[in-house]
Structure 1
């Protein structure tokens, strides 16, 4: 587990539904974050946030809702969003503007979201005013004292960012067992909620209870028919670096 890459899942090769409920909810969340990084209209951002929560908590089958047209009757799903989701589920194609959004957003800005207490709005502001586009450039700007003078920031905010960067770097390197287990348990719970997952278990250093842990390894048992959907849904989780097998 490393980094926080945002990716668009690949369509399953077996036909519609091309994406699962979990995949769609994860992508809507990603789009909301990326739009906020670009400074999009707050109501547009909120519509994707609400859509992500709505789809993620569905008790009905998403494919059935799309096929019957009942998706458009749901509160919070407008014509535009409903059409985009229908296209994804039935045709296996994400909207072009969502694809461009993922391609055009600097990966470094997405990685900055992993710094505790640092959100999209502040990242966007520092990018525009200071040219900050990565964790490294943020650290340099903070060490040079260029963040504190910005409106709404100050010395304390600047120091918190440096502390957050240090915490992030420690997490990316090796960390104490107790800290690693907290992150591992959180990932276990998130993965267990994905449709098609039968079993989730920490592996590697965490399972052997080593004093320190590098990357977290998690073994997931999956129904064969849901393999591709589960793999894509796990990759869509922030903090996941790779899925093997």
Structure 2
């Protein structure tokens, strides 16, 4: 999960309800993670995790459940959480303790959540024992071999953190449009050939031809009964450096240069041309550059 995504959404002016079900589910997930970073009681953390999953899979209208008071009758929603959700959806205000969690948590700790494979428990442990409070101080501690001796970590974990930091630094930077399109079109072509896929379309910044692309959005038309098979097939495509999240309808990935066919090369581009158009970005294509990608499975 990327640390930069830990932001409480603003209330929409057309409410109530002032927030969507997905927004509420995501905020509950954020609260659970931030509580874990603080070392909160495991049962309290779990209650938010369970509520997030439950709302994420909810088929009923959350706004109507809140308006009718039926939210309090739902399994896993106690009086406190039900009141918090009622306040958010009916008044457009997140509970003060949720707001404080977001504002009081050091940004560096949230930043570290973006490192693949590194969760809040280990971040808190390293913060408490080593004073690690950012990606930069984590990298310094790892390079100084301070993490490996810690109980439950070891040399392999330490190296994975360094690898994750390198991966994070490469994928979080925005790409110029032409570079992003090379990744996007290669990924789109591979998805389009999968059995069960009606069509695959680039969306977001790539479709709008923005000057730069932060991440790729690919919309894939699939029959509902084929969602699971297609999602699994996408996860097994070459070129996936890491999986940040995966469900039947949405997949979040990091792509690397193995997404390109073996014949792909930029070596034929004249050095002067490379310099004029931004040689560093093109060199990254061959040197192991990455880009974030989101895949959404939708009805045909």
* Shared fold per TM-score greater than 0.5: yes
Q: CA deviation at 1:215?
A: 2.2
Q: Which residue of 2 aligns with 1:215?
A: 214
Task: Indicate yes or no: 2:26 matched with 1:26.
Answer: yes
Cα RMSD (Å): 3.2
Residue 203 of structure 2 aligns to a residue whose secondary structure is strand
Residue 84 of structure 1 aligns to a residue whose secondary structure is helix
Task: Indicate yes or no: 2:144 matched with 1:138.
Answer: no
User: Mind listing any 5+ residue stretches in structure 2 that lack a counterpart?
Assistant: 192-200, 220-251, 253-291, 294-300
Change (3 A) 1:128 1:56: same
Q: CA deviation at 1:19?
A: 1.0
Q: Which residue of 2 aligns with 1:171?
A: 171
User: Mind listing any 5+ residue stretches in structure 1 that lack a counterpart?
Assistant: 186-198, 221-236, 241-245
What TM-score do you get using the length of structure 2 for normalisation?
A: 0.61
Q: How does 1:1-245 map to 2 (within 5 A)?
A: 4-173=4-173, 177=183, 181=187, 201-204=203-206, 215-216=214-215
Count of residue pairs the alignment pairs up: 203
Q: Which has the higher strand share?
A: 2
CA offsets 1:173-215 (integer angstroms, 9 cap, x no match): 4588279949xx9xxxxxxxxxxxxx9714439989xxxx862
Change (3 A) 1:137 1:28: same
Change (3 A) 1:163 1:35: same
What TM-score do you get using the length of structure 1 for normalisation?
A: 0.74
> Which structure is richer in relative contact order (CA contacts within 8 A, separation 6 or more)?
1
Structure number with greater Rg is 2
CA offsets 1:23-57 (integer angstroms, 9 cap, x no match): 11110010011001111111101100111111111
